[in-house]
Amino acid sequence: MKMNEVIRAKRREQKMTQEQVAEYLGVTAPAVHKWEKGSAYPDITLVPALARLLQIDLETLFCFREELTEKEIVNFQNEMADTVKERGLEAGCSFAEEKLREYPNCGLLFHGAALILQGSLMMADMPENEKKNYKRKLINWYERAMEHGDEKLRNRAGSMAVAMYLGEGQAEKAQAILDCLPEPQSVRKYVQQADIYAEQGKNDEAARLLSRELTQLSTEVLGILDRMVGLELSLRNVEKAQEIAEKLEETANALDQGGYIGMIGKLQVAVKTKNVQASLNLLEKMLSSVFVPWNRWESVLYYRMILNEEFKEKQRNVQKESQLVILPPLLAELENNSDYDFLRGNDEFQRMLEKYRRRSSQNSQGD
């Protein structure tokens, strides 16, 4: 909150009128009204008395340690996302920076802004060189979140900063961030919490918690397998890479992770070995999967995370929208990444790009 909001909120907490505050401080009621509107500020000589009257310290009055609530941060993220969607990345970043200057010590705010910017960059259909300035800003926001957040936030923001530095080829900076993070626990807290719930007879809560943990773990496991495929390919162990890619697909299916996720390992192998037909077959499957309805909440592994039908329907809509939003940047990657140069002269590849560009355009017009 700003100073005028603090004055208004604390006055109301004390169940005082503007007239009573004015009388206590020896000023007029219109003056207090202007303070609360933010069109004027109390004289510096009145500040100590005002703080005592409102029963707050000066740091609270001046908002030196002000933290936003979780709801306020969610609202900020929604506004930032809407600004990006309606006016573009530059406008979205300007909107965020104005808020960040207002709350320079709020780690959660920096983290929230970084998440929206990163998601927007992933979806942005723009050349990689145009993304560089945004990526530098993104790393800075994650590092600021580390500086001003609690341990849990430092871990989350730090992990994202490490990934960003690695993506920019800056391994030394990634290592420096990683060295600041604590060692991971051998047993996850949420798993033990589920055991406690079960012991207390709270089986629904325990099952819901384990489903939520499995959602996170499945993403991590599939990410690890994908990295293993890439490492084996870099060591020219194509057969080993193919074998791991098969296990990645099997694991994705076993964990009910639908869509194209299970095929990313096989695509790595096909592209690295410049296998034209295998690459085309996999790309067709992956691109077409974007239009196939998929909802993890229907899975026996995750259904307990749904509290009611209204929430389930909302998640279906979110999933559908997020799947379709993936398509433009995915097509841009296929058109611009040099890894796919061996397919450029292939007519089937060009027809595939044209077909899905058209479907992407039709989807946008339908919205």
If DSSP states are collapsed to H, E and C, what string results for 58-80?
A: HHHHCCCCCCCCHHHHHHHHHHH
Mean local confidence (pLDDT), 58-75: 73
Which letter, b or e, does each residue of 262-279 get, where b requires 16 or more Cβ atoms within 10 Å of its Cβ?
A: bbbbbbbbbbbeeeeeeb
Measured between alpha carbons, how far is 360 from 324 in angstroms, rounded to an integer?
Answer: 8
Q: Is 103 helix (H, G, I), strand (E, B) or coil?
A: coil
Does the pLDDT value for residue 189 go beyond 90? no
Residue 100 CB neighbour total at 10 angstroms: 18
Q: Indicate the residue type of 285.
A: K
**Distance from C-alpha of 130 to C-alpha of 313, rounded to nearest angstrom:** 37
CA of 193: how far to CAs of 153, 180, 209, 268, in Å? 20, 27, 8, 38
Spatial separation of the C-alpha atoms in residues 178 and 143, rounded to whole Å: 12
| Structure-block tokens of residue 206 | 């325990």
For the purposes of burial, counting CB atoms within 10 Å of the CB of 4, is it exposed (0-12), middle (13-18) or buried (19 or more)? middle
Cα atoms in the Cβ-side hemisphere of radius 13 Å centred on 125 = 14
Question: In the predicted model, is pLDDT for residue 78 greater than 90?
Answer: yes
Token readout for 187 is 């047993």
Instruction: In whole angstroms, give the CA distance from residue 249 to residue 229.
Output: 12
pLDDT at 98: 93
Q: Where are the beta strands (DSSP E) in the chain?
A: none
As a whole number of angstroms, the distance between CA 181 and CA 146 comes to: 10
Q: What is the mean pLDDT of residues 335-361?
A: 91
**Closest by alpha carbon to 161, among 183, 146, 151, 148?**
146
Q: How many CB atoms lie within 10 A of CB 314?
A: 12
Under 8 Å between Cβ of 198 and 208? no
Residue 363: pLDDT band (50, 70, 90) is low
Average pLDDT in the chain: 86
Tokens of 208: 């819901």
Res 161 pLDDT > 60: yes
Phi and psi, residue 248, nearest 5°? -60, -45
Give residue-wise pLDDT tens across range 9-23: 889 988 999 999 999
Nearest to 249 by CA among 237, 232, 233, 266: 266
Q: How far is it, in rounded angstroms, from Cα 138 to Cα 83?
A: 17
pLDDT band at 82 (very low <50, low <70, confident <90, very high): very high
Which of 18, 47, 49 is CA-nearest to residue 31?
Answer: 18
Backbone torsions φ then ψ of 326, nearest 5 degrees:
-65, -30
Please report the pLDDT score of residue 247 as a whole number: 97
Average pLDDT over residues 121-134: 84
- 307: tokens are 């509290």
* 296-347 per-position pLDDT tens digit: 677 899 888 766 566 566 655 655 555 556 778 888 889 888 999 999 999 9
Question: Average pLDDT in the 125-137 region?
Answer: 86
**pLDDT over threshold 80, residue 29:** yes
Q: For position 269, what pLDDT does the model report? A: 97
Confidence of residue 195 (pLDDT cuts 50, 70, 90): confident
First to last CA, the chain: 36
Residue type at 56 in one-letter notation: I
